[in-house]
Structure 1
């Protein structure tokens, strides 16, 4: 994964947690470690991650994957925000 926008999707619950990071491929392993250890800075995502039992209930996506899926609710707002 390259730098930029990423999303963590909560499977079956229509929740999409979107963030931005430089050098995403280097940040991804520490982010997963934080989630697994209960220390992720986004409290809502951490709570859902912990309650749902971790990675098996989530999928992970890059900006390129997100932009290509016009069925994502709110994709227009996400694209508008990333353009600025």
Structure 2
């Protein structure tokens, strides 16, 4: 089963939390449930989510969206890591 790269961006802080998942279109809603309930397995992202007040300070992006935005700093490194 193939998987795809996604990123959760912390708006205003220029931090990306990058992950990989199969069935990417089905990944985001359960992640929001975990983040909102305080049970997301990535402790750093959960802590930032709790402090910043939830999804209004975050955005969700697919690999295709990231690739198409050439203004993202470090995109070359991201693409190199994604290709591994």
TM-score, length-scaled by structure 1: 0.91
| CA distance in structure 2 between the partners assigned to 1:28 and 1:35 by the alignment | 10
Cα RMSD (Å): 1.0
How many angstroms does 1:5 deviate by? 0.8
Aligned-residue offset at 1:79: 0.6
2:38 aligned residue = 38
Q: Per-residue CA shift, 1:29-64, capped at 9, x if unaligned?
A: 111100000011111100000000001011111110
* Displacement over 2 Å in runs of 4+: none
- Whole-angstrom CA distance in 2 between matches of 1:42 and 1:21: 14
1:27 partnered with 2:31: no
Give the structure-2-normalised TM-score.
0.91
Distance (whole Å) between structure 1 residues aligned to residue 4 and residue 83 of structure 2: 12
